[in-house]
Amino acid sequence: MALKPSFSDEISNLLYAAHGNPINACIQCGTCSGTCPVANYMDQTPRRLIGMINADLKEDVLDCNTYWFCASCYHCTVRCPADIDIAGVMYAVKRYSIWNKTYSEDLVGPKFSEAFVKTIVRTGRSYEPILAPTYMFHFGPKDFFHEAVTASKMMLKGRIPVLPPRIKRLENFKNMIRKIIPLGESS
């Protein structure tokens, strides 16, 4: 009889090709939390998140902002005495939550990621002005204003392109992507 894999197994399986040890090698030493430059802003520190995954606390893990606030700086990864790729774990939980649409609605991270990916799939290149609306409307008025001022200053210095760039062999490129993931009609 096939058992449903536990949450910690599911996350481990998503750690595609990551080097290092499995998450259950964690000794809860806290080096990752002590190293993490974003820990103060996280609901749960990296150490706690790893512990929660190992305890299969699926809802609590997915509910917290920790993995979306991870900046992928790999500082924890290179310092972990148990040789766990913690940054890779954060990526795995991000993927899990995007696939299962379980992230909490007030986060900008997942929406930004999805919009970014859609732009690349459509043109082969990334383009800031198309991306901007997806996250800017989630900002409060103050942040929105700041972002607009910074963007227009960069525009004045010629540092933001006026037209979205595109690659030349776009059809081949899209067919290539179709072989990996199905593309929606809008893409």
The answer to whether residue 92 forms part of the interface with ligand SF4 (CB under 6 A) is no
Window 134-153: residues binding ligand SF4 (CB under 6 A):
none
The answer to whether residue 64 forms part of the interface with ligand SF4 (CB under 6 A) is no
Q: Considering the complex, what minimum distance in angstroms separates the CB of residue 9 from other proteins?
A: 17
| Angle, helix 128-136 to helix 109-123, in steps of 10 degrees | 150
The answer to whether residue 70 forms part of the interface with ligand SF4 (CB under 6 A) is yes
The answer to whether residue 84 forms part of the interface with ligand SF4 (CB under 6 A) is yes
Q: Considering the complex, what minimum distance in angstroms separates the CB of residue 155 from ligand SF4?
A: 30
Return the CA Rg of the chain. Answer: 19
| Residue 50 and residue 84 in contact, taking contact as beta carbons nearer than 8 Å | yes
Contact with ligand SF4 (CB under 6 A): which of 7, 11, 12, 35? Answer: 35
| Residue 129 and residue 160 in contact, taking contact as beta carbons nearer than 8 Å | yes
Residue that has been written with the tokens 């599911």 in this structure: 10
Contact with ligand SF4 (CB under 6 A): which of 14, 60, 65, 75? Answer: 75
Q: Considering the complex, what minimum distance in angstroms separates the CB of residue 2 from other proteins?
A: 23
CA atoms of 147 and 130, how far apart (whole Å): 14
Contact with ligand SF4 (CB under 6 A): which of 11, 76, 92, 93? Answer: 76
The answer to whether residue 15 forms part of the interface with ligand SF4 (CB under 6 A) is no
Handedness of CA 148, 151, 155, 161 (dihedral sign): negative
Q: How many CB atoms lie within 10 A of CB 145?
A: 11
The answer to whether residue 78 forms part of the interface with ligand SF4 (CB under 6 A) is no
